Amino acid sequence: MLVLLSCGDRSAGSDAWRRFPAVPSPRFGPRQIRAESSMVRRYNGSTGAAPFDSLRVADIGDVNVNLYSLPDSCRLIRESYREIVASGCVPLTLGGDHTITYPILQALAAKHGPVGLVHVDAHTDTGDAALGERIYHGSPFRRCVEERLLDCGRVVQIGIRGSSYDPDPHKYCREQGFRVVPVEECWMKSLEPLMREVRAQMGDKPVYISFDIDGLDPAYAPGTGTPEIAGLTPAQALEIIRGCKGLNIVGCDLVEVAPMYDVSGNTALLGANLLFEMLCVLPGVKTL
């Protein structure tokens, strides 16, 4: 069984301080993705996947959060997901800022043990603190490492790019055993060879997919709080997600859609389609 959820659309957490202080930019992301998902149909005409014929799929609504406390919001998310995964569901989550992945992985690791991670993003999200806070959208994977939620030898981060506060911004990731794939290694090429390597690395153990929409170039996905130039293309995003077919996927999320920065709705439409592609590669999905 699979569950579609939204998480963080009313969250106090925000990535918008980089563009407009105190504006919670991704809070309405799940709502807009839901709206744009009306354009997504039942079958994947490219891969033949028939997820709605293969799984019981339900949108069970929003996860409650505490508007005045991000740590307490993480607790509420963690407790909600523990119930969800205990019931045998595979959560497919609409975010919200990337903070939400931390409590989700707490819940998943409690059931599955440390999980592998396919992480698409412009940023590694392994920062330690921001403005004195250790829980924020740029730190989820450092917190996950500290709590041993990740199988660090099975973590791949794809599309990483942008300016940095540090001269060696990927040092921490390398020290943990992560594979970091800078965007320069993705330019002007198919990512199918990369995903063959990723599948071999992940093996048959549990894997989580976390997709930050800013992994894509802002020409395609301007509706996000921390855009970085020269990113992945939508076609490459499809190659990454479709390349996860056959893995033991125990959950997915798509985060950081900020509708206020894209009045066209195209970013949320792209997000809805990428979530559908994730649905199509889950274990148990049959092809026609």
Binding residues for Mn(2+), by number, are 98, 121, 123, 125, 212, 214
Identify the bridge partners of residue 206 per DSSP, sorted by sequence position. Answer: 248
Give the DSSP letter of residue 283.
Answer: T
| Residues 255/268, Cβ–Cβ less than 8 Å | no
Report how far apart, in Å, the C-alpha atoms of 126 and of each of 121, 144, 170, 192, 197 are. 12, 9, 9, 26, 23
Output the CA torsion 185→139→65→40 (10° steps).
0
257 closest CA partner among 83, 137, 106: 137
> Which region holds residue 192: left if phi is over 0, alpha if psi is between -120 and 50, else beta?
alpha
**Euclidean distance between CA atoms 2 and 263, whole angstroms:** 31
102 closest CA partner among 152, 153, 138: 138
